[in-house]
Chains A and B, each alone.
Chain A
């Protein structure tokens, strides 16, 4: 079945360090891929998305490229800030039904000054 596998955390980085959070997926066809962010005490918010192979989603300095050949959608940022401290979820929406989303287990990121 469809699923998402996400890099386990927690991840602790110093401010201005580079960030990569790995995400790979299993799905038939051409799913849409998403990264959501959850700040402490809040609900999930969409960070970025990509809907077809080789698409790059970007927002707030974060980027992720939809790689069908490696079934991956890794989240990257060149220079993290303290305000980026949150939990990041990779998610997939299948191409066939669109009724359900599949979420990874989340990766907690803490950025220290």
Chain B
């Protein structure tokens, strides 16, 4: 199993540009999450999904959109990039059945908006 994979690893955007961060997992997890990690800070939840076709907002959803058409994929879309969106973005997934199960993280995408 590859686990959780994210692309790209790095990206520089100009203000106002748009892009999609890709996330794929091959563990058949129903739950998937997007976090951002700002320097010296913890993780903040942007969006999450409990299954294909179902998404919900987290703590900091403004400026982002997500979709979940398949169990495996959970892309994050930035429509009009702003400098405040400079961050490291992590995708994660987990089993849904019990509260004992941990999240599995991808390697992250480092995004800079100039």
Stretch of B11-19, B43-51, B64-72 at the chain-chain interface: B43-51
Mask for B94-108, Cβ within 8 A of A = 1, else 0?
A: 101011101111111
Report yes or no: A99 in contact with B100, Cβ–Cβ below 8 A: no
A106 CB to nearest chain B CB (Å):
5
Cβ contact of B105, chosen from A32, A43, A98, cutoff 8 A: A43
Which A31-75 residues have a C-beta within 8 angstroms of B? 31-32, 34, 36, 42-46, 49, 51
Asked if B41 is at the interface of the complex by the 8 Å CB criterion, the answer is yes
Q: Which residue of A lies closest to B102 (CB)?
A: A46
- Say if the beta carbon of A77 comes within 8 Å of chain B: no
Please list 17 pairs of residues, one from A and one from B, whose beta carbons are closer than 8 Å in the complex, sorted by A's number.
Answer: A32-B100, A42-B107, A43-B107, A44-B90, A46-B102, A51-B99, A51-B100, A93-B102, A98-B98, A99-B31, A99-B56, A100-B48, A101-B45, A103-B42, A103-B43, A106-B41, A106-B42
In the complex, the answer to whether A93 meets B99 with C-beta atoms within 8 Å is: yes
Contact between chains at A89 and B42 (CB < 8 Å): yes
Q: Is A100 touching B58 in the complex (CB atoms < 8 A)?
A: yes
B30-46 vs A: 1/0 string, CB under 8 Å? 01010100001111010
Complex: chain A residue closest to B49, CB-CB: A99
A contact residues, total (Cβ < 8 Å):
25
Task: Given A99-B31, A106-B40, output 7 extra A-B contacts at Cβ < 8 Å.
Answer: A42-B107, A43-B90, A44-B103, A44-B105, A51-B99, A101-B33, A101-B94
Interface residues of A in 89-106 (CB under 8 A from B): 89, 91, 93-95, 98-101, 103-106
Residues of B near A99 (CB, < 8 A) are 31, 48, 50, 56
Report the nearest A residue to B110, measured CB to CB. A41
User: CA of A45 to CA of B106 in the docked complex: distance in angstroms?
Assistant: 9
Residues of B within 8 A of A36 (CB): 105
Separation of A61 and B93 alpha carbons in the complex (Å): 26
Question: B94 to chain A: which residues have CB within 8 Å?
Answer: 101
Q: How far is the CB of A43 from chain B (nearest CB, A)?
A: 4
In the complex, A105→B41 CA distance in Å?
A: 5
Contact with A89, one of B43, B45, B48, B56 (Cβ below 8 angstroms)? B43
